[in-house]
Amino acid sequence: MGLTHEPVAEDRSPHLTIWAVSDGRIGIEAQVLGLAEAVARQRPAVVVGKQIGWRFGLGRLPWPLIPPAALRADSPVAAPWPDIWIAAGRASLPLSTRVKRWSGGRTFVVQTQDPRGAAARFDLVIPPAHDGLTGDNVVPIVGAPNRMNAEGFARDRLRFGARIDPLPHPRVAMIVGGKSHSHDLSPDRARRMTAEVASAVAAVGGSLMLSFTRRTPQAARAILTKGLAATPGWIWDDEGDNPYFAFLAAADVILVTEDSTNLATDAATTGKPVHVLAMDGGGRKFDRFHEDLVRRGIARRFGAAPDGLAATWRYPPLDETNRAARELLRRFDARPAR
């Protein structure tokens, strides 16, 4: 697919146009859509999600070497260009680093995550604070942008109420990630996790609301599903609509695996106790992130609370996505007139 590189006349629509660009992976897409939607909650805007990829395996090359003609996209990436471009992930870099030139400087270009040495090419970079990236155009946040919001929690809490309301308190939401470049969930770890969680939920006489991600290995998923089937609650089996928002909204306490910044950040938007479940592997960036959550009074390592799942604590719900959106709009408005 060819790209139009000529500058275009400014769109004088009263609404901002925002493109949220990702490679379609759920976690990456949630970041760009979450930030775009937060901007749209603060100012009238039309948000367009775009999923991209690269033909012939060219996406594995260093991004300056990837020709735009190799692009695959689910909708045109061409003029008229948006007012704001929000992108995440390596696959987006060959476009994010060029779109300002293609738009004649009109598009405000935002990149979440660490753009691997290309930060100076963007109007704004919003990385996780634990990445350690700094700069005049860098606004670090705790965790990652997300789609969590009060309206979504209330909507899905009501929507799934018939299934959730009969469950005994304390209700424990357990969100399980899986295999990544730094972590894994082996059958052995899954068996130990099953026993630990079953015992902890039984000790407080509560119930369990369990959900998996696409990265959860099938073997680990089967072990956890079978081993926790006798625990009162709801193990979502991917049938029907996803109750993820409802699980977080209805929970008294939340368990998340340590492999995902997104899962812990989502949980932290609730203001409820978060326990972090250990997995195989690890990495210093993730350690710094979880240590930061502990310092902020948001999370504890699973098993570290003296009273187990009966332990209660509260903290101001993490609101980093809205904070990032406010800063984005401030900088967007402060640009020289074009």
- d(CA 166, CA 207) in angstroms, rounded, equals 10
Question: Cα Rg for the chain, rounded, in angstroms?
Answer: 21
- d(CA 277, CA 303) in angstroms, rounded, equals 9
Residue 277 has φ and ψ, to the nearest 5°, of -90, 130
DSSP-H helix ranges across the chain: 26-42, 93-96, 99-102, 150-159, 161-164, 187-204, 218-227, 244-250, 261-268, 284-295, 320-333
- Domains plus CATH for the chain? 16-142+321-333 (3.40.50), 150-310 (3.40.50.2000)
Provide CB contacts within 8 A for 136, sequence distance 6+. Answer: none
pLDDT (0 to 100) of residue 297: 97
pLDDT (0 to 100) of residue 57: 86
Provide CB contacts within 8 A for 135, sequence distance 6+. Answer: 119, 120, 125
| Tokens 């293609």 sit on residue | 102
Residue 315: CB atoms within 10 A of its CB come to 16
Q: What is the mean pLDDT of each run of 10 residues along the chain (338 residues)?
A: 38 79 94 97 97 91 90 96 97 95 97 91 96 95 95 95 98 96 96 98 98 96 98 95 97 97 96 97 92 96 93 95 98 88
- d(CA 4, CA 95) in angstroms, rounded, equals 12
Nearest to 175 by CA among 239, 262, 113: 262
Q: What residue type is 200 in one-letter code?
A: A
pLDDT (0 to 100) of residue 3: 39
User: 126, 261 in Cβ contact below 8 A?
Assistant: no
Provide CB contacts within 8 A for 127, sequence distance 6+. Answer: 112, 113, 114, 133, 138, 140, 141
- d(CA 109, CA 213) in angstroms, rounded, equals 30
pLDDT (0 to 100) of residue 338: 67
The DSSP line for 50-110 is: EEEEEGGGGGGS-GGG--GGGEEESS---SSPPSEEEEESGGGHHHHTTHHHHTTT-SEEE
- d(CA 319, CA 50) in angstroms, rounded, equals 25
pLDDT (0 to 100) of residue 62: 87
Residue 46, H or E segment: strand 45-54
Question: How do the residues of the chain divide into helix, strand and coil, expressed in percent and rounded to 5?
Answer: 40, 20, 40
Extract the tokens encoding 229.
């089937």
pLDDT (0 to 100) of residue 7: 39
Nearest to 74 by CA among 29, 16, 124: 29
